[in-house]
């Protein structure tokens, strides 16, 4: 893949890097195709436990590549221009966001520069977001003559920061810096520009200290319970996963490790043998 790179600093951690630094990693159709393929490959790697999503060079992702938007290629091959072709192409790009949610590994967005439009949506679709001090974020869709609601932002942003602030950012398309993003709760920490990737990898290492099933189940339950109708339904899903985890033997290992004053030795994942 030319537009996306997968790197493994160690077998349990993947760095998924958007690789179009000459245009701040803007979303071309080729990049979208490769990002879908990369997510499938990482999901199938049962040894990998955490993913860091970041951009090559000085940007995270500048949003849609306007020079490439009239050329979705194979996605609508054979279809005449019109609503059907447009909707298929639009869905292919927008489906990146549920794809991020669907893979088994939690994703850490390391926002190393501008995250505009679709790039901002990619960051919002991750499980955790951290930002470099120079990072800038913007819901820029409305500036392009279309609705400000695109690629899942109208769903994700109000759930992160509340409807009032989400309306402000989506309708005004104003740029916010990393400090304001942290104040709003879009990112959970801000680090020096030269430390963003190392900070994300350190956080990934922290998550790898926990049991594989525990981390996997936590991602599933957190997103699922944003949608359940009531507290009882949320607790039922939590109970299911806690019993499954308890039957794995990991709780007994955690207790032994506590009393023996050592780190737990979790059961190997599939593919580790």
Sorted by sequence, the CB contacts under 8 Å of residue 178 that are 6+ apart come out as 111, 131, 132, 133, 134, 135, 136, 137, 187, 190
Among the candidates 207, 224, 243, a domain finishes at 207
Over residues 97-119, mean pLDDT: 97
Residues 30 and 65 both lie in one domain: yes
DSSP summary character for residue 189: E
Confidence of residue 268 (pLDDT cuts 50, 70, 90): low
Domain presence at residue 268: no
Over residues 204-209, mean pLDDT: 96
Over residues 18-37, mean pLDDT: 96
Query: How far is the C-alpha of 114 from the C-alpha of 62, rounded, in Å?
Result: 6
Confidence of residue 272 (pLDDT cuts 50, 70, 90): very low
Residue 68 has pLDDT above 80, yes or no: no
Residues 144 and 175 both lie in one domain: yes
Domain presence at residue 109: yes
Structural domain span for residue 219: 212-259
Query: How far is the C-alpha of 222 from the C-alpha of 226, rounded, in Å?
Result: 7
Confidence of residue 73 (pLDDT cuts 50, 70, 90): low
Burial class (CB in 10 A: 0-12, 13-18, 19+), 265: exposed
Residues 240 and 178 both lie in one domain: no
Domain presence at residue 97: yes
DSSP summary character for residue 210: S
Residue 75 has pLDDT above 80, yes or no: no
Ranking 17-26, 110-119, 145-154 by mean pLDDT, the lowest is 145-154
Number of domains forming the structure of the chain: 2
Given phi > 0 = left and psi -120 to 50 = alpha, else beta, which region is 145? left
H-state helical runs in 14-110: 29-44, 83-94, 96-102
Q: What φ, ψ does residue 76 adopt, rounded to 5°?
A: -120, 25
Over residues 143-158, mean pLDDT: 93
CATH code of the domain containing 117: 3.90.226.10
Share of the chain above pLDDT 70, in %: 96
Global confidence as pTM: 0.91
pLDDT of res. 271: 38
Residue 79 has pLDDT above 70, yes or no: yes
Query: How far is the C-alpha of 231 from the C-alpha of 197, rounded, in Å?
Result: 37
Residues 233 and 160 both lie in one domain: no
Residues 32-65: tens digit of each pLDDT: 999 999 999 999 999 999 999 999 999 999 999 9
Residue 256 has pLDDT above 90, yes or no: no
Ranking 125-139, 150-164, 212-226, 238-252 by mean pLDDT, the lowest is 238-252
Q: Judge contact between 19 and 2, C-beta under 8 A.
A: yes
Residues 219 and 250 both lie in one domain: yes
Q: Judge contact between 114 and 135, C-beta under 8 A.
A: yes
- Mean pLDDT (the chain, rounded): 92
Query: How far is the C-alpha of 95 from the C-alpha of 72, rounded, in Å?
Result: 15
Residues 183 and 55 both lie in one domain: yes
Determine the 3-state secondary structure of 75 from DSSP.
helix
Q: Judge contact between 189 and 182, C-beta under 8 A.
A: yes
Residues 80 and 145 both lie in one domain: yes
Residues 222 and 109 both lie in one domain: no
Nearest to residue 142, comparing CAs of 134, 150, 133? 150
Q: Vertex 114, ends 110 and 119: CA angle to 5°?
A: 75
């Amino acid at each position: 893949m030319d537009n996306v790179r997968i790197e493994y600093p160690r077998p349990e951690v993947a760095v998924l890097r958007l690789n179009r630094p000459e245009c701040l990693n803007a979303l071309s159709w080729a990049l979208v195709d490769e990002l879908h393929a990369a997510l499938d490959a990482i999901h199938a790697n049962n040894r990998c436990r955490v993913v860091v999503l970041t951009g090559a060079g000085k940007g995270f992702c500048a949003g849609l590549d306007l020079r490439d938007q009239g050329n979705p290629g194979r996605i609508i091959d054979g279809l005449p221009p019109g609503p059907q072709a447009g909707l298929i192409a639009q869905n292919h790009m927008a489906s990146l966001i549920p794809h991020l949610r669907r893979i088994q590994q939690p994703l850490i967005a390391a926002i190393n520069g501008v995250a505009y439009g679709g790039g901002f949506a990619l960051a919002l679709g991750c499980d955790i977001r951290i930002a470099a001090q120079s990072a800038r974020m913007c819901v820029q869709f409305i500036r392009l003559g279309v609705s400000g609601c695109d690629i899942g932002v109208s769903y994700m942003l109000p759930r992160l920061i509340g409807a009032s602030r989400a309306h402000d950012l989506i309708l005004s398309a104003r740029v916010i810096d990393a400090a304001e993003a942290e104040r709003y709760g879009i990112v959970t920490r801000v680090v020096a520009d030269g430390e963003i990737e190392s900070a994300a990898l350190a956080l990934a290492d922290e998550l790898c200290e926990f049991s594989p099933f525990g981390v996997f189940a936590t991602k599933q339950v957190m997103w699922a319970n944003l949608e359940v109708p009531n507290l009882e339904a949320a607790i039922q899903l939590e109970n299911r996963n806690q019993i499954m985890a308890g039957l794995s033997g990991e709780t007994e290992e955690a207790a032994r490790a506590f009393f023996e004053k050592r780190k737990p030795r979790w059961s190997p994942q599939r593919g580790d043998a």
